Amino acid sequence: MDAENLYYFEKAPVAKAVAHFAVPMMLGTSMSVIYSILNAYFLGMLHNTAMLTALALTLPLFAIIMALGNLIGMGSGTFISRLLGEKKYDDVKHVSSFAFYSSLVLGLIAIAVGLPLIDQIVYGLGATSDSFEFTKDYVTIMIMGSPFVILFFTLENIVRSEGAAITSMIGMIISVVVNIILDALFIFVFHWSVTGVATATVISNVVASAFYAFHIRYKSQFLTVSAKWFKATKEILSNVVKIGVPIFIMSIFLGAMSLILNHFLIEYGDQAVAAYGISSRLLQFPEFILMGLCEGVVPLIAFSFTANKMRMKHTIGFTIKTIVALAFLFGVIVFLISDNLIGLFTNDPHLIEMGSYILHVTFLSLFITGMTTLFTGIFQATAQGTAAFIMSIIQGITLIPMLFIANHMYGFHGVIWSLVIADALSFLVGAIMLYVLRNKLQPDLDSLIQ
């Protein structure tokens, strides 16, 4: 770790340290949302609702592939930050090498399992006769490119865990810029439509992964991709699994919830699915800003947990205040211009009305989801595997039965409001667990909670 990164971990004022770690992550995640929005925007210019529906239906698949990357990346990353706090630098090399090669293996397994089941996966995602071929094209390419997508998420996490927040951001921006350029080329020049969107996504992840690997190989002091440092010891596996598996399960639940939600929405027509697909991409922008903030401070919290717990307390307090301010700002903006935002993607008045309604409802839980993400980050950073696991499943456990009940009682409106209710229950569970664990994490943390 170079002197600059060490300064931000140990000595910089908390606000300055949070900004150093979180702002690059916030910019990087916001850029990834921008290209997700542009995917829908470019396809929307073709005036084909079936393409937009296919793009919405494939969100669960991407969530699963991302989950595999976070399984290794988040588990390894938080472990690396704790090891740096303990100054166990050789162990950092072993963990980073393990993360690199295990990600590639997971990707190959995904190909071996996914390709023979393409049609079943597409039907399972809820594709209709109109959107089936578009959905199948996307699924096929994403599965074939899954080793590089998984590797991208893994390397981004471990680079950030060392404190190289700017490098992490640059890699994400490279991915976004390449993706946007290729989107325009593949859709408007080659006329590949949904196939072009998927191909652009895979290639952009290949380029960004190469950038991260180059940084680790030639510029990082402690991380490595060298096979000679590869180890799969019980300690490495247990620490990676303890945090990585809850993150994986949470991502799977998110994908499953998106899948189940699509099945409920399809009862109300392709327009309902398309409206949710558009509004959820718009909602991703503020959500990913808050996610970038919360995930960005995880290495700082993890390092401070082993090196300076009082600094950890102040970091958490400052992050909470920032979440409140950002959630309020984004909420005001969306409630003022929601129709205009949906109108960027379609000129269908009914689609605009449905999308605007979904935005208004789901934005009510923006602060709650930000805090829930922070709770999860705290449990990851401090190696509270059980609490992290509970946070990973609680939203799915609450949302799925809520969807069935609310859909039966209130129809389309019940389906949409179920999202807010499930978020609120997840927040409540996380707050209770943080209160219970306050003495274990930091004796003075109770003053922050109360």
Per-residue model confidence as pLDDT tens for the chain (450 residues):
556 667 888 888 999 999 888 888 787 777 766 767 777 777 778 877 788 788 877 877 887 888 888 889 988 988 998 898 888 899 999 999 999 999 999 999 999 999 999 999 998 888 888 888 899 999 999 999 999 999 999 999 899 888 888 898 899 889 989 988 998 899 899 988 889 989 999 999 999 999 999 999 999 888 999 999 998 888 999 988 887 887 787 777 766 776 777 778 877 777 787 788 778 777 777 888 888 888 888 888 888 888 888 888 899 999 999 999 998 898 888 888 877 778 777 777 878 888 888 888 888 888 888 898 899 888 888 878 788 788 877 877 788 788 888 888 888 888 889 888 888 898 999 999 988 887 766 644 444 444
Q: Distances in Å between the alpha carbon of 449 and those of 273, 365, 369, 382?
A: 39, 20, 17, 17
Q: What does the pLDDT read at residue 449?
A: 46
What residue spans define the domains of the chain? 3-449
Q: What does the pLDDT read at residue 95?
A: 94
Q: Exposed, middle or buried, 6 (CB in 10 Å: 0-12/13-18/19+)?
A: middle
Q: What does the pLDDT read at residue 446?
A: 47
Helix/strand/coil for 297: coil
What does DSSP assign to residue 437? T
Residue type, 335: F
Q: What does the pLDDT read at residue 1?
A: 52
> Burial letters for 177-208: b for 16+ Cβ neighbours within 10 Å, e otherwise?
ebbbebbeebbeeeebbbbbbbbbbbbbbbbb
Q: What does the pLDDT read at residue 441?
A: 67
Q: What does the pLDDT read at residue 131?
A: 84
Q: What does the pLDDT read at residue 255?
A: 64
| Angle of CA points 251, 74, 210, to nearest 5° | 105
| C-beta pairs of 304-309 under 8 Å, 24+ apart in sequence | 304/9, 304/85, 305/82, 305/85, 305/381, 305/382, 305/383, 305/441, 306/82, 306/85, 306/86, 307/9, 307/10, 307/85, 307/86, 308/10, 309/441, 309/442, 309/443
Distance from C-alpha of 418 to C-alpha of 420, rounded to nearest angstrom: 5
Q: What does the pLDDT read at residue 428?
A: 92
pTM: 0.73
Distance from C-alpha of 351 to C-alpha of 45, rounded to nearest angstrom: 15
Q: What does the pLDDT read at residue 277?
A: 76
Distance from C-alpha of 77 to C-alpha of 94, rounded to nearest angstrom: 12
